[in-house]
């Protein structure tokens, strides 16, 4: 007779590999670099780090511009000061995943924050970790 159970092996992945999900990152891998990495140029660790720093600076610059614009709006219409806390909360909510992405690069291999789906992945993991760990993010909980 047949065995009642078959030996199946299930492996748990650390996280989804997002690279094949995007047309810009899939396809034929390029030639190996000097570090031996094959794949899209934008997914190389050094390039992804530089892109992350660039996006962080652009977002921070936008929020700086927004605060400057609010200062002028407050001078004309004083109740506009009520928008300052909303701007600050929004800035923190958007920038926190960026800092997590830059600080925990090993947990976000094959991701580049330039791609919206990759940013959404980092955003979800960051806030899921915060929710499960009483407001703390650590390498262990990501």
SS (H, E, C) 74-115: HHHCHHHHHHHHHHHHHHHHHHHHHHHHHHCHHHHCCCCCCC
pLDDT tens-place string over residues 41-96: 888 999 999 999 999 999 999 999 999 999 999 999 999 999 999 999 999 999 99
pLDDT tens-place string over residues 90-126: 999 999 999 999 999 999 989 999 999 999 999 999 9
Q: Are 18 and 123 in contact (CB under 8 A)?
A: no
Cβ-proximal residues to 91 (8 Å cutoff; 6+ apart), any chain: 59, 60, 63
pLDDT at 134 over 50: yes
CB-based burial label for 131 (10 Å; 0-12, 13-18, 19+):
exposed
pLDDT tens-place string over residues 15-38: 555 544 443 444 444 334 444 444
State the pTM of this model. Answer: 0.69
The mean pLDDT of 9-13, rounded to a whole number, is 40
Confidence at 10, pLDDT banded by 50, 70, 90 = very low
**DSSP state, residue 5:** S
Q: What is the per-residue DSSP string for 7-37?
A: -------SS---GGGSTTT-SS-----TT--
Q: What pLDDT sits at residue 100? A: 94
Q: What pLDDT sits at residue 59? A: 95
**DSSP state, residue 140:** T
Among 124, 64, 79, smallest CA distance to 97 is for 124
């Amino acid at each position: 007779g047949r065995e009642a159970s078959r030996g199946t092996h299930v492996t748990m992945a650390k996280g989804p590999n997002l690279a094949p999900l995007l047309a810009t990152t899939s396809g034929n891998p390029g030639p190996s670099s000097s570090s031996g990495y094959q794949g899209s140029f934008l997914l190389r660790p050094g390039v992804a780090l530089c892109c992350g720093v660039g996006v962080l600076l652009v977002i921070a610059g936008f929020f700086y511009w927004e605060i400057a614009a609010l200062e002028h709006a407050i001078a004309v219409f004083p109740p506009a000061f009520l928008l300052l806390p909303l701007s600050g909360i929004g800035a923190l909510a958007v920038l926190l995943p960026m800092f997590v992405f830059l600080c925990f690069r090993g947990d976000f291999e094959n991701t580049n924050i330039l791609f919206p789906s990759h940013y959404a992945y980092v955003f979800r993991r960051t806030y899921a970790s915060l929710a499960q760990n009483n407001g703390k993010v650590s390498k262990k909980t990501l």
